Structures are given as C-alpha cells and as structure tokens.
C-alpha cells in the first residue's frame, strides 16, 4: 500500500468561537517518483506512494511510449536513500522486453511534473498532444444514464485515503453495467488515472473497450487524453470540464460526462451513447 498517509501537528483556529485547539492531523503523503527506463530518467512526478509499478506502467502506456504491458520485462524500486539513510522507494526502474524500444521519447519538460498537472512543463504545445492508436469513437458501448449518474458515489465508497485525509483524488474503471473493476487514489488526478490504466493493462491488453473511466476531479485535457490513449470510450467526472477537454472528447469520439453529482450530469460529447429517461 505504501506510505499513503502520515500524522502532522495542527493548530485549529475557530475565529467565530475564539477557540484554538492543537492536535495532530492525518494528511496525504506527497513524494517524488522518478521513472527510469533502461537506466535513463523518463519523468519525475509528485505522487502518493503506493501502486508505484501500476503508476509507472500506466504512465508509459498513456503517454504513448509503450503499446502493451508485455513490453515491460521487469520493474523494480531502486535502492535510493533519504537524508536519514533510510530507503525512500522513490525511484522505479523499468526494463523493456527484448527487442522493445520506446515508441516515442519522453516529453521534453521545463520542470518536474506536480501532483496537479500531468502535462505541466511540456516544452511546447505540440508536445502536449498524444495521438491514440485506438478509435474510441467506433466503440459500440451503450450506457444507462442511471448507472452513469451513480458512478461517482460508487467510487466514493472505495476511497479510504480520502476518507482519512480529504486530500487525494480517485480514479476507477467501470464496466458499462456499473461494476468498478479497479480503483486507485493519489494526490495527482493524472497519477490516479495512470495507476488504474497500469493495473488494468496487467490483466487485459489495451484498448480498454466498453469501459468507463470515472474520476473524482474536473474533466481536464490530460484525463480525456489518457482515456483515449488507453482506448476507454467514456469519461465521467465529478467536476467541470475544460475547453480543451471538450474539444479533444469531440475530436476523438469519447463520451464526456461532467458535473456528475446526485442524479444528474451534463454531456459534452457523444450523448447518443447514453440512454436517458423520456
């Protein structure tokens, strides 16, 4: 599971009541993870420790650098140590299968990826876009509106780190019938999605046809792109969409639902896939 949460000092101030209370608080852990392929650094991202191999594999797949989980022969944590001499497990080394090479180089970045953004620091706008190998627009998936509306609440029941800290995102992959297959949490919404894709790719080859990606965040460009690259035909988000997310969803033929709260949602692309009352 990793070092998901930790305890820190906290002073709670209630201005209205004039109360000051000091007691420990549980917060989500955020640490860097460096991913290396064949000994060469590919990226460094701020993440919540745990499911690091899923994150590493998912990142390589959703960034279009590899085509399948089988392209990776082995993964291991390097024996890096912190200032106190203890192992940090903050470096993952991936060895490619014989004859396999990266399909594209890592993005050229001007800064380390933060937990807030999966494409931050890309050196150019062209470097942001990853073209999917899969035609998600041709996926025949059909979704029931009631099932779709209930996915965020179902996801919420499987977020133990959020329950303790209120400080992490979650992503899950569900069937069209509403069964959650995999759920992962992370301080970075893009990391949570990569962890889900990596975990699923171990069990079945891409594309992840006929499935729905549900996220406890806004529908950003990078999440729509990761879904499309993994061959997921539908994305359900709790929060709002961005303009680029809508544009990419429309262009790729992905069904995008946002503001999915209670019993309602808003569709921004491919509404024909969703069966609604009336």
Q: Burial of 277 by CB count in 10 Å (0-12 exposed, 13-18 middle, 19+ buried)?
A: exposed
Alpha-carbon distances, residue 130 vs 37, 58, 64, 134, 158 (angstroms): 19, 14, 6, 12, 30
Angle at 197 between CA 191 and CA 201, to 5 degrees: 145
Angle at 158 between CA 155 and CA 160, to 5 degrees: 130
Q: Find where tokens 């046809």 sit.
A: 209
d(CA 173, CA 180) in angstroms, rounded, equals: 6
d(CA 53, CA 58) in angstroms, rounded, equals: 8
120 given a catalytic annotation: no
Alpha-carbon distances, residue 195 vs 58, 114, 166 (angstroms): 6, 16, 19
Whether residue 22 contacts residue 10, with contact meaning beta carbons closer than 8 Å, is answered with yes
Alpha-carbon distances, residue 60 vs 21, 56, 139 (angstroms): 46, 6, 23
d(CA 209, CA 253) in angstroms, rounded, equals: 13
Whether residue 96 contacts residue 67, with contact meaning beta carbons closer than 8 Å, is answered with no
Give the CB-side neighbour count of residue 207, counting CA atoms within 13 A: 21
Known catalytic residues are 117
């Amino acid at each position: 599971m990793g070092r998901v949460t930790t305890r820190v000092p906290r002073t709670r101030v209630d201005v209205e009541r004039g109360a000051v209370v000091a007691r420990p608080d549980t917060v989500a852990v955020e640490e860097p993870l460096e991913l290396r392929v064949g000994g060469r650094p590919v990226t460094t991202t701020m993440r919540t420790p745990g499911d690091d191999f899923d994150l590493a594999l998912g990142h390589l797949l959703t960034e279009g650098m590899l085509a399948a989980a089988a392209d990776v022969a082995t993964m291991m944590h390097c024996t890096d140590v912190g200032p106190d001499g203890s192992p940090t497990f903050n470096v993952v080394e991936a060895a490619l299968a014989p004859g396999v090479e990266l399909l594209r180089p890592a993005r050229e970045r001007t800064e380390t990826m933060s937990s807030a953004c999966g494409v931050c620091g890309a050196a150019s706008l062209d470097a942001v876009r990853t073209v999917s190998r899969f035609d998600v627009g041709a996926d025949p998936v059909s979704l029931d509106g009631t099932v779709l509306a209930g996915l965020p609440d179902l996801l919420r029941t499987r977020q133990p780190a959020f329950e303790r800290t209120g400080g992490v995102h979650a992503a899950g992959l569900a069937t069209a019938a509403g069964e959650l297959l995999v759920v992962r949490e992370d301080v970075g919404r893009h990391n949570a999605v990569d962890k889900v894709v990596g975990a699923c790719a171990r069990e079945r080859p891409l594309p992840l046809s006929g499935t729905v990606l549900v996220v406890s965040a806004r529908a950003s460009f990078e999440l729509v792109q990761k879904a499309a690259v993994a061959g997921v035909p539908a994305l359900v988000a709790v929060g709002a969409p961005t303009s680029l997310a809508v544009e990419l969803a429309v262009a790729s033929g992905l069904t995008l639902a946002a503001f999915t709260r209670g019993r309602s949602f808003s569709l921004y692309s491919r509404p024909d896939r969703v069966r609604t009352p009336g």
